[in-house]
Amino acid sequence: MENKSAIVETRPGAPRRKVLALLATAVLLPRAHAAAPRPPLLLVVGDSLSAGYGLETGKGWVDLLRQRLHAHHPRWTVVNASISGDTTAGGLARLPALLERDRPQVVIIELGGNDALRGLSLEQTADNLSQMVALCKKAGAQVLLVGMQIPPNYGPTYTARFAAVFPAVAKAQHVALVPFLLAGVVAHPDWFQADNIHPTAQAQPVMLDTVWPHLQPLLHAAGKGRR
């Protein structure tokens, strides 16, 4: 007597259907895995104040920010793309590649101080910052612009015009602003390194506390946008 189960298994097309089903499963699973959302990312594009110049590794305000996010917003990743000595022109030149590589939900832009120290055109500084903000917004990122001020020995006119660049750009581009990164530091001369420009490790938690209230709403807004 013929084995009916064997006949079913050897019917034309049956093995082929099984193979195709297995192949389809093998193809769909990797695609489903690849479609999983990436953890939200915060990108910091700054100069030596954010790069932690003269500090031990892990002591800068961006490092402290990473620790705070790990405690309060553990899904977030922080990428610090700050370079000591960088200008707004340098930041603008490298920003497109950073946005393409990291695809951040939030970008902190902390640049401009070196423009002023080198006496560069304030109009160009403003234009560079505006272009950076526009690129971030086009990439779908929330932006926090960090304001800076320079010592009065550069002359009251230039000093005032430089300080006004940041609120003007933030207002025109409709983005959040930290008015002055060193607001809680400048009153403490002993919180600066020997060059009287770069804050010591003691000042870094204060700098983070200056940034944090302006950053939190962006984190929440970015998180809602990913749901």
**Residue 220 a catalytic site member:** no
**Pair of tokens at residue 69:** 């996010």
- What is the pLDDT averaged over residues 99-103? 98
Asked if 105 and 192 sit in the same domain, the reply is yes
> Helix 88-102 crosses helix 122-138 at what angle (to 10 degrees)?
10
Residue 207 contacts by C-beta under 8 Å, 6 or more apart in sequence?
A: 49, 61, 181, 182, 184, 185, 199
Asked if 28 and 54 sit in the same domain, the reply is no
Whether 105 and 40 have beta carbons less than 8 Å apart is answered as yes
Which residue of the set 73, 188, 198, 214 is catalytic?
A: 198
Question: Coil, helix or strand for 171?
Answer: helix
**Pair of tokens at residue 2:** 């013929």
Asked if 92 and 159 sit in the same domain, the reply is yes
Asked if 21 and 59 sit in the same domain, the reply is no
Distance CA 148, CA 142 (A): 20
Asked if 108 and 12 sit in the same domain, the reply is no
Residue-level pLDDT at 13: 56
| pLDDT confidence tier of residue 37, bands split at 50, 70 and 90 | confident
- How many structural domains is the chain composed of? 2
Asked if 47 and 29 sit in the same domain, the reply is no
Asked if 187 and 172 sit in the same domain, the reply is yes
Tens-digit pLDDT profile for residues 170-201 = 999 999 999 999 999 999 999 999 999 999 99
Q: What CATH number does residue 125 fall under? A: 3.40.50.1110
Asked if 144 and 103 sit in the same domain, the reply is yes
Asked if 78 and 182 sit in the same domain, the reply is yes
Number of residues that this document lists for the chain: 227
Least confident range of 92-96, 123-127, 149-153, 172-176: 149-153
Distance CA 7, CA 11 (A): 6
Which residue of the set 48, 50, 82, 130 is catalytic?
A: 48
Tell me what percent of the residues of the chain surpass a pLDDT of 90: 79
Asked if 171 and 188 sit in the same domain, the reply is yes
Question: Coil, helix or strand for 206?
Answer: helix
Whether 92 and 63 have beta carbons less than 8 Å apart is answered as no
Beta strands in the chain (DSSP E): 41-46, 77-80, 106-110, 142-146, 176-178
Residue-level pLDDT at 17: 57
Tell me what percent of the residues of the chain surpass a pLDDT of 70: 83
**Residue whose entry in the numeric block shows the structure tokens 């003691």:** 202
Asked if 13 and 97 sit in the same domain, the reply is no
Distance CA 119, CA 171 (A): 24
| pLDDT confidence tier of residue 226, bands split at 50, 70 and 90 | low
First to last CA, the chain: 62
Q: Which domain holds residue 196?
A: 40-225
Model's pTM, two decimal places?
0.84
Asked if 102 and 173 sit in the same domain, the reply is yes
Which residue of the set 5, 33, 174, 195 is catalytic?
A: 195
The DSSP line for 172-204 is: HHT-EEES-TTTTTTT-GGGB-TTSSSB-GGGH
**Residue 127 a catalytic site member:** no
**Dihedrals phi, psi of 199, to nearest 5 degrees:** -65, 155
**Dihedrals phi, psi of 115, to nearest 5 degrees:** -60, -45
